[in-house]
Amino acid sequence: MAATSACVETPPSTDMSFKKALAVASPLTLHIVAECPVTKARACDLKLPHCVVSTPVFMPVGTQGTMKGITADQLDALGCQICLGNTYHLGMRPGPDLIEKANGLHGFMNWKNNLLTDSGGFQMVSLVELSEVTEEGVTFKSPYDGKTILLSPEKSIAIQNSLGSDIMMQLDDVVSSTVTGPRVEEAMQRSIRWLDRCIAANSNPHKQNLFAIIQGGLNAGLRKTCLDEMTKRDVPGFAIGGLSGGEEKDDFWRMVTLSTDHLPREKPRYLMGVGYAVDLVVCVALGCDMFDCVFPTRTARFGSALVPWGSLQVKHKQYAKDFKPIDPDCRCPTCKRHSRAYLHALFKSDTAAMHHITIHNIAYQLNLMRSVRQSIVQGRFPDFIRAFMRRMFPSREQYPSWAVDALASVNITLE
Ligand SMILES: [Zn+2]
């Protein structure tokens, strides 16, 4: 009788999606190369359909099939093994049908490495004023022609199936990390139901990996419930969502470490929307493998170059006669060829300056993660972090207290 009542209580879609997920081996394997004996950091080889990704990895964000200010060839030359495509923008224009005709987003942008696409939901909630969330999906008015459009879990997966990305993200019910009260629980529970609908809707599970997104706001109990439920699903990977949206950093790292404590060891862990160097290094220590953020490319367009000691504002007068490269230790095409003085002068008259700084900033992020990985493999990650912090901050007093606490929680004391 117990079995019968369980059957009755289980919605048919959930039952189906479990079977579907179990029946198809995921087109992803995670090989753990090394684990830090002190912290929760790990270095992995993440095998995806287009190539192997060395983790920890930062994934640059391309908005409409191209990286703003950089070509697919240049990105490849920097050693980028995976980048993001934006489902909302690509779904609106040029539209999934056209991209499918071009052999998916890989063919359309002529990108031979891996692609991750988001669900489109976050853009809708954050960019479109007139969006409304119901159980069916997210309804919004198209900014292009004013038509009302419903983005359901099924529609999001259909678009991502057309794009042909190696990793697809589930549609989740996104609330700002600063929202509190019953809406947080509602969004978390709905995200679980939408995950099941996304699993069932994936028409290409042997080629495209669907990642679940852990929600629950800043409430440890809700996060734990979401972790318990979502990890019952046999999805190829998990993302930690709903963070990095203006919450206190102390809440941020506690939710990250709670999540990694309960995510399965043998699957990749993707922390969404994180890209500041300090956050990356700390969250690797807390056990995250994958990161993305528009910050490095967006800040480049304002003339801000990322360097091991923070950032360098190319526009500032002090660089007008400075013939050193942005970072003398950086071997990116920009630093090999151009001086601060040249970029300073160019910035005043030509968008090419933004392009050069974008290349440097992406190179900086990729190199940072390569160094992090190497230190994990060589068993010296704690020393790497200490040296990184010494270089980034002029004095011990300037270390952010949240970073000190987060690192202490994984046995790293900063002298
Ligand atoms: Zn450089």
* Residue 66 confidence (pLDDT): 54
Q: How far apart are CA 381 and CA 41, in angstroms?
A: 8
Residues 73 and 103 in one domain: yes
Q: Which of 118, 166, 173, 289 is catalytic?
A: 118
Instruction: Enter the DSSP assignment of 208.
Output: -
Residues 275 and 379 in one domain: no
Residues 249 and 376 in one domain: no
Query: Is residue 195 one of the residues assigned to a domain?
Result: yes
Residues 351 and 232 in one domain: no
Amino acid at 401: S
36 annotated to a ligand binding site: no
* Residue 20 confidence (pLDDT): 44
* Residue 381 confidence (pLDDT): 98
Block mean pLDDT (10 aa), the chain, length 415: 34 44 74 98 98 97 64 91 84 82 88 93 67 90 81 95 96 88 95 98 97 97 98 97 93 98 98 97 98 93 96 97 98 98 93 92 98 98 98 96 98 91
* Residue 15 confidence (pLDDT): 45
Strand pairing class (138-141; 148-151):
antiparallel
3-state helix, strand, coil in the chain (%, to 5): 45, 15, 40
107 annotated to a ligand binding site: no
Neighbours of 31 (CB within 10 A): 11
Residues 323 and 247 in one domain: no
Q: How far apart are CA 285 and CA 376, in angstroms?
A: 10
Residues 291 and 389 in one domain: no
Q: Which of 261, 278, 295 is the last residue of a domain?
A: 295
Is the Cβ–Cβ distance between 223 and 259 less than 8 Å?
yes
User: Is 73 a catalytic site residue?
Assistant: no
Q: How far apart are CA 139 and CA 235, in angstroms?
A: 26
* Residue 349 confidence (pLDDT): 86
Q: Which of 248, 272, 295 is the last residue of a domain?
A: 295
120 annotated to a ligand binding site: yes
Q: Which of 196, 279, 292, 327 is catalytic?
A: 292
* Residue 12 confidence (pLDDT): 40
Cα of 360 vs centre of ligand 1, distance in Å, is: 4
Query: Is residue 350 one of the residues assigned to a domain?
Result: yes
381 annotated to a ligand binding site: no
Cα of 78 vs centre of ligand 1, distance in Å, is: 11
Residues 212 and 241 in one domain: yes
Residues 261 and 320 in one domain: no
Q: What are phi and psi of 29, to 5 degrees?
A: -130, 145
Residues 264 and 369 in one domain: no
Query: Is residue 196 one of the residues assigned to a domain?
Result: yes
Cα of 401 vs centre of ligand 1, distance in Å, is: 29
103 CB-side CA count, 13 A: 6
What angle is formed at CA 214 by the lines to CA 210 and CA 216, rounded to 5 degrees? 155
Cα of 300 vs centre of ligand 1, distance in Å, is: 12
Residues 287 and 306 in one domain: no
- Assess whether the previous peptide bond of 94 is cis (omega < 30° from 0): yes
273 annotated to a ligand binding site: no
Query: Is residue 250 one of the residues assigned to a domain?
Result: yes
* Residue 207 confidence (pLDDT): 96
Q: How far apart are CA 396 and CA 393, in angstroms?
A: 7
Contacts of 348 (CB under 8 A, 6+ apart): none
* Residue 388 confidence (pLDDT): 98
Residues 268 and 360 in one domain: no
Query: Is residue 12 one of the residues assigned to a domain?
Result: no
* Residue 230 confidence (pLDDT): 98
Residues 186 and 263 in one domain: yes
* Residue 265 confidence (pLDDT): 98
Query: Is residue 20 one of the residues assigned to a domain?
Result: no
| Domain assignment of residue 78, given as a range | 34-295
CATH of the domain at 119: 3.20.20.105
Domain count, the chain: 2
* Residue 51 confidence (pLDDT): 97
* Residue 129 confidence (pLDDT): 63
Cα of 149 vs centre of ligand 1, distance in Å, is: 42
Which segments of 164-245 does DSSP mark as H helices, in order? 182-201, 220-230
* Residue 177 confidence (pLDDT): 84
User: Is 145 a catalytic site residue?
Assistant: no
